[in-house]
Amino acid sequence: MKISKICCIGAGYVGGPTMAVIAKMNPNIQVTIVDINEDRIAAWNDEDLSNLPIYEPGLAEIVKETRGKNLHFTTEINKAIDESEMIFISVNTPTKTYGKGKGMAADLKYVELCARNIAEVATTDKIVVEKSTLPVRTAKAIKSILHNTGSGVKFDILSNPEFLAEGTAIEDLLSPDRVLIGGESEEAIEALANIYGSWVSQDQILRTNVWSSELSKLTANAFLAQRISSINAISELCEKTEANVSEVAKAIGMDSRIGPKFLNASIGFGGSCFQKDILNLVYIARSYGLNEVADYWEQVITLNDHQKRRFSDNLISTLYNTVSGKKIAMLGWAFKKDTNDTRESAAIYVADHLLNEQANIAVYDPKVPSKKVYGDLDYLATRSEDENKELVETFDNPYDAIKDAHAVAIMTEWDEFKTYDWKKVYDLMKKPAFIFDGRNILNKDEMAEIGFEYSSIGK
Ligand code: UDX
Ligand code: ADP
């Protein structure tokens, strides 16, 4: 079966880059991305590519090349659904904030709405592809909704989890380690494998059953997050001893069974996936009565929360046990470099701890707009929006954020931070001038020579 028209529901961090790359690599397929958010679609259609809603290296170039040719952005959801042979569901699946499974289970209301939407408007057979990260057995729920429409339309459901990491999404999509397709219908699987086959070799395209595919996504993220919590646990031990976590990471990473990646000790992992997926895994395990399994994975989150808390506690105790009324400059708000995404960013939680101690926070991030910073803090609802406005200020220029600060806290590993004139930073700050390097990106000896009181993670 040859696909000529694709629709993707959800123009976010997954749907946007994935469809842009599919469109680029398949000029003969028309790809339409739809979203209920009109502002988001307008931003995707903006003439000025610096206004795209998502910052991702290499993305704007691909959008420029394909938009209006075979890549389209629209809010006309029903029309796009009905016209396409294959529909990707790429809507968000945040952790539930209410009811049963609150704070643990994935909220599937957006996915269910999509399935209902497809069921309502489809008049021809469709292949429906789950792209959002979903709890195992979601395909079953989607199938049940789609198959009970009575319209006589045939739906094949595939699970095709996304393994791209933000900040390197285009690279990851263009040269994936593997593509995973789970499903029942061989014809549907091959239709999707053909689309990826335009640029991915067939032996890298794994075909599995739906449940294996869904569970693989959660497991991959749980393993990756576990590595970070493991090295972060060792970082605390390093701080108490004479060991240096970077040296330990290098030494263990050279064991080919362990490997060198994902061993950077940090302020703690953030992002839309790791915490959500582990919570999901824990919830599923518990719902099957597998308490030891659930406890095991839950510890990865516990350690991550501890790492964030430890960073702010250390900052406060180093600043003579009080940050009240002191200006703390936070460099970086995104959960990692090269993205404007801030979901679950460690910076939010560290700022929140410091605000509880009445610190004044000055934020600079090269890609995150001011309204997102306030939005993230307001969403926590720890204090009123007015209080957040009063205690937090955002800046377009790092040196303005740093001026008269008692401490600089590096929250994101943006490359530009390494190139700052740190002597100038020192001169601008109150003395003694402290740096808390949550990403271990600066050189300890150089900073000490300038005069900073410098501390990093695990050293
Ligand atoms: C992750 C998975 O990597 C990706 O395969 C999946 O599809 C989605 O979830 P993402 O969350 O975009 O991707 O970014 P990732 O690079 O995995 O980083 C997650 C967090 O871990 C970031 O906060 C990052 O700073 C942190 N991290 C990563 C560390 O603290 N240390 C490391 O060594 C690596
Ligand atoms: P992700 O990182 O998973 O891509 P995002 O939040 O960036 O998550 O993107 C998900 C997108 O899905 C949002 O732009 C949201 O407006 C859109 N969305 C959610 N529900 C629906 C729906 N029922 N129909 C169309 N779009 C939807």
Q: Is 17 in the pocket of ligand 2 (CB under 6 A)?
A: no
pLDDT at 239: 96
CB 209 within 8 A of CB 287: no
Element (H, E) at 356: helix 346-356
Kindly state the tokens that stand for 163: 């393994």
Q: Are residues 51 and 167 in the same domain?
A: yes
Polymer length in residues for the chain:
459
Give whole-number Cα distances, 279 to 108, 111, 297, 349, in Å.
14, 18, 8, 18
Question: Which residues are tagged catalytic?
Answer: 273
CA of 97 to the centre of ligand 1 (A): 23
Atom of ligand 1 at shortest distance to CA of 261? 33
- Probe ligand 2: pick from 76, 77, 78, 92, max atoms within 8 Å of CB? 92
Q: Are residues 406 and 365 in the same domain?
A: yes
- Residue 229 Cα to chain centre, angstroms: 17
CA of 334 to the centre of ligand 1 (A): 12
Kindly state the tokens that stand for 239: 């701080």
Q: Is 110 in the pocket of ligand 2 (CB under 6 A)?
A: yes
Q: Is 44 in the pocket of ligand 2 (CB under 6 A)?
A: no
Q: Are residues 236 and 373 in the same domain?
A: no
- Range 284-312 burial, b when 16+ CB lie within 10 A, else e: bbbeeeeeeebeebbebbebbebbbebbb
Residue nearest to atom 34 of ligand 1 (CA): 262
Task: With respect to residue 395, please indicate whether it lies within any of the assigned structural domains.
Answer: yes
- The answer for residues whose C-beta is within 8 angstroms of residue 265's C-beta and 6 or more apart is 231, 232, 234, 235, 238, 245, 246, 249, 440, 457, 458
CATH number for the domain that contains residue 428: 3.40.50.720
User: Which domain covers residue 312, as residue numbers?
Assistant: 308-456
Q: Of 183, 208, 233, which residue is a domain's last?
A: 208
Q: Is 333 in the pocket of ligand 1 (CB under 6 A)?
A: no
Residue nearest to atom 31 of ligand 1 (CA): 264
Element (H, E) at 389: helix 385-391
Task: With respect to residue 213, please indicate whether it lies within any of the assigned structural domains.
Answer: no
Q: Are residues 329 and 283 in the same domain?
A: no
Give the ligand at the shortest distance from the Cα of 173: 1
Atom of ligand 1 at shortest distance to CA of 271? 11
Q: Are residues 171 and 47 in the same domain?
A: yes
Q: Is 164 in the pocket of ligand 1 (CB under 6 A)?
A: yes
Q: Are residues 285 and 325 in the same domain?
A: no
Atom of ligand 2 at shortest distance to CA of 54? 7
Task: With respect to residue 316, please indicate whether it lies within any of the assigned structural domains.
Answer: yes
pLDDT at 152: 85
Give the ligand at the shortest distance from the Cα of 41: 2
The stretches in the chain having pLDDT less than 50 are none
Q: Is 114 in the pocket of ligand 2 (CB under 6 A)?
A: yes
CA of 203 to the centre of ligand 1 (A): 26
pLDDT at 408: 98
Adjacent-strand bridge partners of 158: 129, 183
Angstrom distance (rounded) from CA 293 to CA 395: 45
Q: Is 441 in the pocket of ligand 1 (CB under 6 A)?
A: no
Task: With respect to residue 204, please indicate whether it lies within any of the assigned structural domains.
Answer: yes
* 3-state percent helix, strand, coil for the chain, nearest multiple of 5: 45, 15, 40
Q: Are residues 65 and 181 in the same domain?
A: yes
Q: Given its phi and psi angles, is residue 404 left (phi above 0), alpha (psi -120 to 50 degrees) or beta?
A: left
Q: Are residues 283 and 143 in the same domain?
A: no
Domain count, the chain: 3
Kindly state the tokens that stand for 194: 């053909």
Q: Are residues 295 and 322 in the same domain?
A: no
Q: Give the residue ranges of DSSP H helices in 241-343.
A: 245-253, 274-287, 291-318
Q: What are phi and psi of 75, to 5 degrees?
A: -100, 0
Q: Is 264 in the pocket of ligand 1 (CB under 6 A)?
A: yes
CB 8 within 8 A of CB 90: yes
Give the ligand at the shortest distance from the Cα of 259: 1
Task: With respect to residue 397, please indicate whether it lies within any of the assigned structural domains.
Answer: yes
Q: Is 335 in the pocket of ligand 1 (CB under 6 A)?
A: yes
Quick one: which of 269, 171, 284 has its CA closest to 218?
284
Q: Are residues 318 and 380 in the same domain?
A: yes
Angstrom distance (rounded) from CA 129 to CA 6: 10
Report the 10 Å Cβ neighbour count for 447: 20
- Probe ligand 1: pick from 130, 266, 278, max atoms within 8 Å of CB? 266
Q: What is the pTM of this model?
A: 0.96
Based on the number of CB atoms within 10 Å of its own CB, is 367 exposed (0-12), middle (13-18) or buried (19 or more)? middle
For the chain, helix (H) and strand (E) counts, in that order, are 18, 14
Angstrom distance (rounded) from CA 379 to CA 362: 19
Q: Are residues 164 and 266 in the same domain?
A: no
Q: Are residues 164 and 257 in the same domain?
A: no
Q: Of 274, 301, 328, which residue is a domain's last?
A: 301
Task: With respect to residue 283, please indicate whether it lies within any of the assigned structural domains.
Answer: yes
Q: Of 177, 208, 239, which residue is a domain's last?
A: 208
Give whole-number Cα distances, 453 to 61, 142, 446, in Å.
42, 56, 11
CA of 169 to the centre of ligand 2 (A): 17
Angstrom distance (rounded) from CA 75 to CA 72: 10
Quick one: which of 218, 211, 222, 213 has its CA closest to 193?
213
pLDDT at 164: 97
Task: With respect to residue 424, please indicate whether it lies within any of the assigned structural domains.
Answer: yes
Quick one: which of 254, 345, 448, 436 has its CA closest to 246?
254
Atom of ligand 2 at shortest distance to CA of 10? 12
Task: With respect to residue 145, please indicate whether it lies within any of the assigned structural domains.
Answer: yes
Q: Is 161 in the pocket of ligand 2 (CB under 6 A)?
A: no
CATH number for the domain that contains residue 230: 1.10.1040.10
